[in-house]
């Protein structure tokens, strides 16, 4: 927690999944087109325009109100299935369940034993994978899929995964959740040696490394590539003869294994298994590579051992509440964080109100631990989508009510504990607090179910520049004044780890990656350090 005077900080520009800090000019890539025969690739996405509900160039700045710009966002969700007669349909369902992990675009690559088939598009899964005309073209008994999160600026189809390439051993497709911290360094070297890139995604680096590997077998080529990349990643890969899943050595990003009859399933979260009745088997372990083929599943550990550092923000915000992540139910963990928050910073109040939807479980935990009534004092409109209203100053001022509205009967004249999952820039919090105040709240005490977010993430999360993070610029008292609350408190870093079942945060060997709160980055930041 930043205390005292305003802290002057050095900016760190994060590089979430699919972007670079400084991008070399993209060139035409050999990894496009149509092939026939062994490993051939059928392109079906080359002419799909962005759907009309996506923002024009300039991104969130063109919207009258955007809560999404004041939240952290996980960049991707991945899914893969092997030995299923309707593999593409199952993959589309899995991506539906993982829609919260990415809304910019979605893609599926399938293989029928001889030919690969692809469909990628900008927009939501349901906008493009909802008809037999699309699913029917994605033939085969194996498939992988990917959801990508939209950042500011114009989305590009070229960055939508899975990526596909024709390699020496046949077709190869890959989908990636996370971020490679040495991608720019590797990309510069690959370009110098003649590689051509068609996207601005770090994932394409993996394709080139596999393509240029001197190893013989497919398995060995992938291992060779994995030993050159750094960062946080969960990968699903597809060849003519195998489905492969990999987690980085620290296990920062999630990946689970399931079974659906005789089929194997890989997914970012267990909610993608539940939607089709698949049975959760286990988490893919940090540093593990599973190869699934006609002979079953084989497990390999090709990477050097490293301390386990799963992303703790998955429990705070990213993962769906009904998912089981690293053997823990996300909903229960969020309630436990709320209870810890109540124990650390309880306050005399009349009612506990969540900022929906992400603040609900923590508010329930806070209310139970503090013996206060829980009320839905803010009602969320789930059907807003994006708006075409011109962003005049008046509309910008009213924009928060497009998504949230105060339930006056629950908060008027009362001392309100307002619970949210995090504060990033603080713009949304300020608008929410003003709305609750206007609805007649006597007092507003804001409680945040995460520590102050003081650092950017470099491991696959879309975060602002550090200079835009409110907690990196102001102490808690200053933040409270700026947001307009009577009091403000965050759960402590030790309290967050206690909620996860730990005795507290072990500073010498933390159980989780909490770099956005602590500045303790477990994986070296090669690209950032070389550019500094």
- Which DSSP string do the residues of 240-289 spell out, in sequence order? SS-EEEEE-TT--S--EEEEETTEEEEESSTHHHHTTTPEEEEEPPTT-E
Q: Which pLDDT value is given to residue 442?
A: 98
Q: Which residue has the higher pLDDT, 471 or 151?
A: 471
Is 318 a domain residue?
no
Tokens of 482: 């700026």
d(CA 120, CA 430): 38
In the numeric block, the tokens 């993209």 are attached to 26
Residue identified by tokens 């490679």 is 180
Alpha-carbon distance of 470 to 276, in angstroms, equals: 41
Confidence of residue 384 (pLDDT cuts 50, 70, 90): low
User: Whose CA is closest to 377, among 345, 412, 338?
Assistant: 412
| Judgement on whether residues 300 and 335 belong to the same structural domain of the protein | no
* DSSP result, 327-384: TEEHHHHHHHHHHHHHHHH----SEEEE-TTTTHHHHHHHHHHHT--B---EEE-TT-
Neighbours of 457 (CB within 10 A): 25
> Has residue 74 got a pLDDT over 80?
no
CATH number at residue 218: 3.60.20.10
Helix (H) or strand (E) holding 397: helix 393-398
Q: How many domains does the chain have?
A: 2
Q: How far apart are CA 187 and CA 183, in angstroms?
A: 6
Q: Which of 76, 311, 457, 513 is catalytic?
A: 76
Q: In this model, does residue 40 exceed pLDDT 90?
A: no
Q: Is the pLDDT of residue 8 over 70?
A: no
Rounded distance between C-alpha atoms, residue 284 and residue 511, angstroms: 17
Please tell me whether residues 300 and 359 are part of one structural domain. no
CATH of the domain at 470: 3.40.50.2020
Domain annotation covers residue 67: no
Shared domain check, 359 and 297: no
Is 516 considered catalytic here? no
CA gap 105, 363 in Å, rounded: 32
Q: Which residues of 118-134 are buried (b: 16+ CB within 10 A; e: fewer)?
A: bbbbbbbbeebbeeeeb
Q: Is 81 among the domain residues?
A: no
Is 279 inside any structural domain? yes
Q: 437 in a domain, yes or no? A: yes
Angstrom CA distances, 300 to 220, 231, 244, 247, 303, stand at 11, 19, 11, 11, 9
- The answer on 302 and 399 residing in a single domain is no
Mean pLDDT on 480-498: 98
**What band does 11 get if pLDDT is binned at 50, 70 and 90?**
very low
Over residues 355-362, the mean pLDDT reads 96
Quick one: average pLDDT of 63-67?
A: 38
- Quick check: is 316 in a domain? no
Mean pLDDT on 351-355: 98
Q: What angle do CA 27, 163, 460 make, to 5 degrees?
A: 95
Mean pLDDT over 28-38 rounds to: 35
Cα dist from 440 to 71, 377, 399, 405, whole Å: 27, 11, 20, 13
**pLDDT number for residue 66:** 43
136-142 average pLDDT score: 97
Query: What pLDDT is stored for residue 41 in this prediction?
Result: 38
Residue 467 has pLDDT above 80, yes or no: yes
pLDDT band at 398 (very low <50, low <70, confident <90, very high): low
The pLDDT of residue 24 is above 90: no
Of the listed ranges 2-11, 14-23, 307-316, 343-352, the least confidently predicted one is: 2-11
Q: How confident is the model at residue 216 (pLDDT cuts 50, 70, 90)?
A: confident
* Residue at token pair 């307009």: 484
Per-residue DSSP letter, 427 = H
CB environment 275-309: b (16+ within 10 A), e (fewer):
bbebebeebbbbbbbbbbbeeeeeeeebbeeeebb
Q: Are residues 193 and 100 in the same domain?
A: yes
Residues 241 and 389 in one domain: no
pLDDT band at 220 (very low <50, low <70, confident <90, very high): very high
| Residue of 17, 525, 494, 515 whose CA lies nearest to 310 | 515
Nearest Cα residue to 421 out of 67, 16, 177, 11: 67
pLDDT at 385: 56
Q: Are residues 379 and 459 in the same domain?
A: yes
- What mean pLDDT is predicted for residues 340-367? 97
Structure confidence at residue 49 (pLDDT): 38
Residues 140 and 222 in one domain: yes
Whether 190 maps to a domain, the answer reads yes
pLDDT tens for residues 403-439?
Answer: 899 999 999 999 999 999 999 999 999 999 999 999 9
What local confidence, expressed as pLDDT, does residue 10 receive?
A: 31
**pLDDT at residue 46 above 50?**
no
| Residue 14 vs residue 349, higher pLDDT | 349
486 and 437 belong to one structural domain? yes
Q: How far apart are CA 119 and CA 132, in angstroms?
A: 13
364 and 250: one domain? no
Where in the sequence is the domain holding 242, given as residue range(s)?
88-306
Q: Are residues 208 and 127 in the same domain?
A: yes
- Calculated CA dihedral for residues 69, 530, 19, 521, nearest 10 degrees: -60
For residue 399, the model assigns a pLDDT of: 59
Same domain, 189 and 229: yes
For residue 154, what pLDDT band results from cuts at 50, 70 and 90?
A: low
Question: How does residue 395 score in pLDDT terms, banded at 50, 70 and 90?
Answer: low
Q: How far apart are CA 343 and CA 336, in angstroms?
A: 11
CA distance 296 to 221: 20
CA distance 464 to 69: 9
Mean pLDDT of the chain: 85
* Spatial CB neighbours of 199, under 8 Å, sequence gap ≥ 6: 18, 26, 29, 156, 158, 159, 163
Q: Give yes or no for residue 20 having a pLDDT over 50.
A: no
**Residue 332, CB-side half-sphere exposure with 13 Å CA sphere:** 9
137 belongs to a structural domain: yes
Residue 415 CB neighbour total at 10 angstroms: 17
User: 275, 306, 337 — which closes off a domain?
Assistant: 306
């Amino acid at each position: 927690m930043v205390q005292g005077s305003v802290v002057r900080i050095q900016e760190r520009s994060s590089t979430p999944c699919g972007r670079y800090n400084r991008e070399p000019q993209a060139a035409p890539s050999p990894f496009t087109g149509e092939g026939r025969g062994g490993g051939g690739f059928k392109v079906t996405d080359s002419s799909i325009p962005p759907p009309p509900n996506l923002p024009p160039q300039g991104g969130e700045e063109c919207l009258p109100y955007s809560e999404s710009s004041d939240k952290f966002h996980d960049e991707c969700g991945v899914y893969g299935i092997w030995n299923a007669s309707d593999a593409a349909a199952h993959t589309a369902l899995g991506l539906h369940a993982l829609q919260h992990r990415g809304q910019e675009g979605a893609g599926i690559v399938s293989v029928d034993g001889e030919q690969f088939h692809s469909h990628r598009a900008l927009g939501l899964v349901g906008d493009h994978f909802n008809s037999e005309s699309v699913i029917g073209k994605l033939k085969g008994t194996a498939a992988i899929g990917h959801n990508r999160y939209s950042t500011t600026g114009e989305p590009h189809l070229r960055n939508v995964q899975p990526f596909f390439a024709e390699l020496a051993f046949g077709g190869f497709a890959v989908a990636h959740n996370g971020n490679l911290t040495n991608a720019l360094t590797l990309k510069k070297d690959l370009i110098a040696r003649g590689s051509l890139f068609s996207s601005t995604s770090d994932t394409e680096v993996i394709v080139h490394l596999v393509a240029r590997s001197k190893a013989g077998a497919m398995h060995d080529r992938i291992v060779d590539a994995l030993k050159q990349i750094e960062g946080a990643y969960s990968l699903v890969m597809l060849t003519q003869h195998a489905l492969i899943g990999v987690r980085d050595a620290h296990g920062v990003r999630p990946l689970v294994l399931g079974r659906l009859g005789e089929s194997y399933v890989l997914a970012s979260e267990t909610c993608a298994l539940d939607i089709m009745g698949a049975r959760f088997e286990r988490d893919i372990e940090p540093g593990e590579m599973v190869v699934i083929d006609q002979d079953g599943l084989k497990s390999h550990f090709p990477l050097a051992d490293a301390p386990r550092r799963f992303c703790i923000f998955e429990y705070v915000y990213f993962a769906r509440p009904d998912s089981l992540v690293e053997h823990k139910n996300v909903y229960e963990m969020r309630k436990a964080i709320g209870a810890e928050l109540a124990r650390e910073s309880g306050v005399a109040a009349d009612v506990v109100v969540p900022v929906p939807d992400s603040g609900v479980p923590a508010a329930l935990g806070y209310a139970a631990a503090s013996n206060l009534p829980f009320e839905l004092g803010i009602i969320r409109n789930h059907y807003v989508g994006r708006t075409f209203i011109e962003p005049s100053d008046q509309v910008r001022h009213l924009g928060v009510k497009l998504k949230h509205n105060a339930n006056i009967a629950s908060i008027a004249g009362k001392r309100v504990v307002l619970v949210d999952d995090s504060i990033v820039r603080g713009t949304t919090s300020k608008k929410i607090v003003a709305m609750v105040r206007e609805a007649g709240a006597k007092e507003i005490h804001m409680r945040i179910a995460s520590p102050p977010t003081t650092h950017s993430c470099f491991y696959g999360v879309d975060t602002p520049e550090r200079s835009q993070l409110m907690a990196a610029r102001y102490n808690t008292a200053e933040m409270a004044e700026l947001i307009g609350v009577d009091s403000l408190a965050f759960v402590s870093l030790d309290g967050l780890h206690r909620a996860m079942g730990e005795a507290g945060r072990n500073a010498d060997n933390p159980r989780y990656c909490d770099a956005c709160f602590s500045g303790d980055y477990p994986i070296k930041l090669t690209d950032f350090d070389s550019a500094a």
